[in-house]
Amino acid sequence: MNILYFAWLKNKIGKPFDELNQDFDSVNDLIDYLKSQGENYAQVFQDKNIIRVAINCEFAQMSEPVKVGDEVAFFPPITGG
């Protein structure tokens, strides 16, 4: 699975993407795994309510499963102006 980070998430994590070869029952489970990968991940994902996610270019809920081969994108809320 390709995991993409955008905007300030990418800056705080320190890289634009990760690759994992593992399935997760939900995006929440993936985030819990990522939080265990270091303090920078823990800081980015400490408040899941402000993070948006897309799976294979479609907005998704945190309860949706993710599998090897999926593209998962994390980004902050989008605002217009």
pLDDT in tens, 24-77: 999 999 999 999 999 999 999 999 999 999 999 999 999 999 999 999 999 998
* Structure token pair of residue 36: 């265990």
The answer to whether residue 20 is domain-embedded is yes
The answer to whether residue 50 is domain-embedded is yes
pLDDT at 74: 98
> For the domain that residue 60 is a member of, what is the CATH number?
3.10.20.30
The answer to whether residue 81 is domain-embedded is no
Q: Which residue range is the domain that position 53 belongs to? A: 2-75
Kindly report the number of other CB atoms within 10 A of residue 65's CB atom: 14
The answer to whether residue 67 is domain-embedded is yes
Answer whether residue 80 shows pLDDT above 60.
Answer: no
Place of tokens 């270091």: 38
The answer to whether residue 80 is domain-embedded is no
pLDDT at 81: 53
Number of structural domains in the chain? 1
When pLDDT is cut at 50, 70 and 90, the band that residue 78 belongs to is confident
Answer whether residue 17 shows pLDDT above 60.
Answer: yes
